[in-house]
Chains A and B, each alone.
Chain A
Amino acid sequence: MATGAFWKKHENLYFALTNPKVIIGLSLFLLMILLAILGPMLTPYQYDDFAGAGYQPPSREHFFGTTIMGKDVFTRVALGLRSTILVGFIAGTVATLIGCIIGFLAGYYGGKFIDELLMMGTNIFLVIPSLALLIILSAYLQYRGIVVMSLIVAITAWPWTARAVRSQTLSIKNQEYVNLSRISALNLFRILKEDIAANMFSYVFMVYILQFSGTILAAVGLEFIGLGPTEGISLGLVIKNAFDWNAIQLGLWWWAILPGLVLTTLVVALYFINTGLDQVFNPRLREL
């Protein structure tokens, strides 16, 4: 009885945990998190340690093989994954927050001066070629840590979120059910919470997931062209390193492909969660 009542109250959670797409996505994502957290403990090596002979294909000793210099690829990937997930987390959060705040304000005051002003700013950011801006910014900053890296990526990632959130707010606030709540004498806070925020939540949550994967890819892209963190480790740097050493041409496919595979798995996992949650949040897409 007690569990039944719990599921009745948290219906969305129930639908989420029984949706196959969410299950696949979530387990892949958890696997990646586990790899990032526990991976480095599985090997006795550090990031830059010379772990053994070079040119070693994946084996029991070196799960992902070794580089030309004899460094352990698995250790590097696991540590790189850590910082890449961190970049996604920070940059995704910042981009979503900025986008939501600007978008919501613009939508709430739709048509007024503040809306025009905010949207003008957003449009300016939207038409700036983001890669060029990123390259200039990254080149200009002498020291780039993970956090700076995340902020650089976040700066160009938020505009589409702001636009999308604005139009969502505009359309929801004019819905008839908001009016019905108003003439039911529901107070403003509850209207904002139950009618507007609740209908936005699923959308914002999915935007967040998209931002998470989008910023990860953007960060890796920057790292790949040599504008990554000046110090430290990341998945993009591992791939760039492999590329610099002509890993593929020399037959060290594990060095380049496996980190890429890990990155792809991470993004695909997020994508699966995203589409799965779409069905969960929208009762119309549920199978009855």
Chain B
Amino acid sequence: MVKKRAERVMAIQNLSKEFKSGLIRPQITVAVKEVSFEIRAGTILSLVGESGSGKTTIGKLILKLLKPTSGNILYRNKDIATFKSKQDKTEYYRKVQGIFQDPFASFNPLYRIDRVFDLIFKGFNPEEKNRQEKIKQALKSVNLNPERILGKFPHQLSGGQLQRLLIARALLLEVDILVADELISMLDASTRIGVLNLLVELCKKNGMSVLFITHDLNLGYYISDYTLIMYQGRLVERGQTKKIYQNPVHPYTRMLFESVPDIGRRWNREEDFLPEQIVDDVNKFYEKHQGKGLIEVDEEHSVLFSCD
């Protein structure tokens, strides 16, 4: 089944980000290395990888919270690095929004939680009359009771509630792209599926795209159209979710699939499973395929065979 390709909303081209620490002998940490992908309207991408693989950094680069060391991010064919004026930035953030990983840190502890809603109305929609109405509606759609939530301080709410508040905040804006970093990490199982379905629904209805940053493969499979697998700052495999899940090529991707516990299968003491070996495996894989680089193994399914 070949779907008609939707309009390209964002393109990430050869994006790299290095962090320097120390002045005299700087230590360079490469967080993201030569990453390229596209975001098409109305699709859900999941960006999967282990901790420290650079997933969050990509999200922050897209949200213009960090400056790339090299490479470009194009939003509707305009380089986002050129959005410098207040007006350009406001327009950009009106259409590109994010939800951060840590809900506890996402709220200024000195203000009541209503502030996050006030800010987006003030920033993007100052003429809106039905503020309260809209806020209540957004809160209800993420299963929160407005009467109980509004007017509270962040420390009075749980992580899950704060996370849902951030989701509600994003829902109030009709965005093109939502960068959702570990979106449902703090939600209980029963709310999880509701929030996910809500997101999918919005994607299909409004043409919103979601970049879903996660380390949960099951979740990625459930929700996303495309999958990007990251390993040590590089994109090692990307393509249609189904193709990757049915035919993982890169050793790291294979290892990831092997390490997912299934419901109904218990841990086996005799089975050897050593995730540590992956470093060697990947190096061998790269050596074997030296000089090949990123290759499209199938339509909309590319694998990084070597990185030279």
Cα A194 to Cα B102 with chains together (Å): 20
Q: Does B193 reach chain A (CB closer than 8 Å)? A: no
Residues of A within 8 A of B119 (CB): 181, 184, 186
The CA of A110 and the CA of B267, in the complex, are separated in Å by 47
Q: Say whether A195 contacts B123, CB under 8 Å.
A: no
Number of B residues with CB within 8 Å of any CB on chain A: 33
Q: Are A283 and B65 also in contact (CB < 8 A) when A180-B116, A184-B123, A199-B108 are?
A: no
Any B CB within 8 A of the CB of A231? no
Contact with B along A261-288 (1 / 0, CB 8 A): 0000000000000000000001110001
> What residues of chain B lie closer than 8 Å to A244, measured between beta carbons?
none
Contact A177 B123 (CB under 8 A): no
Q: Is B21 in contact with A180, judged by CB distance below 8 angstroms? A: no
In the complex, whether A4 has a CB less than 8 A from a CB of chain B is no
A-chain residues with CB within 8 Å of residue B156 when the two chains form the complex: 288
Q: Contact at A177–B23, with CB atoms within 8 Å?
A: no
CA–CA, A112 to B23, complex, Å? Answer: 7
Closest to B24 in A: A116
Is there an interface contact between B23 and A111, defined as CB atoms closer than 8 Å? Answer: yes
Docked pose: A116 CA to B101 CA in angstroms: 31
A175 within 8 A of partner (CB): yes
B109 to chain A, nearest CB (A): 6
Does any Cβ of B come within 8 Å of A198's Cβ?
A: yes
Interface SS, A side? helix
By a CB distance below 8 angstroms, the chain A residues around B166 are: 180
B75 within 8 A of A: no
Chain A 179-204, CB within 8 Å of chain B: the 1/0 string? Answer: 11111111100000011001100000
- Show 19 residue pairs from A and B whose CB-CB distance is below 8 angstroms, ordered by the A residue: A111-B21, A176-B105, A177-B105, A177-B108, A179-B60, A179-B106, A180-B166, A182-B65, A183-B93, A183-B97, A184-B93, A184-B116, A185-B89, A185-B123, A185-B124, A198-B108, A199-B110, A283-B109, A284-B109
- Residues of the B chain whose Cβ atoms lie less than 8 Å from the Cβ of A183: 63-65, 93, 97-98
Q: CA A184 – CA B93 in complex, angstroms?
A: 7
User: What residues of chain B have their CB less than 8 Å away from a CB belonging to chain A?
Assistant: 20-21, 23, 60, 63-65, 86, 89-90, 93-94, 97-98, 100-102, 105-111, 116, 119-120, 123-124, 153, 155-156, 166
Question: With the chains together, A184 CA to B116 CA distance in Å?
Answer: 8
A33 smallest CB distance to B (angstroms): 30
Chain A residues with Cβ below 8 Å from B60 are 179
Q: Among the listed A113, A182, A194, A288, which residue makes an inter-chain contact with B108, where contact means beta carbons less than 8 Å apart? A: A194
Chain B residues near A112: list those with CB within 8 A: 23
**Apart from A113-B23, A180-B107, what are 10 other A-B pairs with CB-CB below 8 Å?**
A111-B21, A111-B23, A116-B23, A175-B108, A176-B102, A185-B86, A185-B94, A198-B108, A283-B110, A284-B109
Q: Are B100 and A179 in contact (CB under 8 A)?
A: yes
Please, which residue of chain B has its CB at the minimum distance from the CB of A184? B119
Q: Is the CB of B110 within 8 A of A284?
A: no
Q: A176-B100, A180-B116, A195-B108 are in contact. Are A187 and B155 (CB under 8 A)?
A: no
The answer to whether B90 touches A185, judged by C-beta atoms less than 8 angstroms apart, is: yes
**CB-nearest residue of chain A to B89:** A185
State in angstroms the CA–CA spacing of A194 and B109 once bound together: 11
- Measured between beta carbons, the chain B residues less than 8 angstroms from A284 are 109, 155
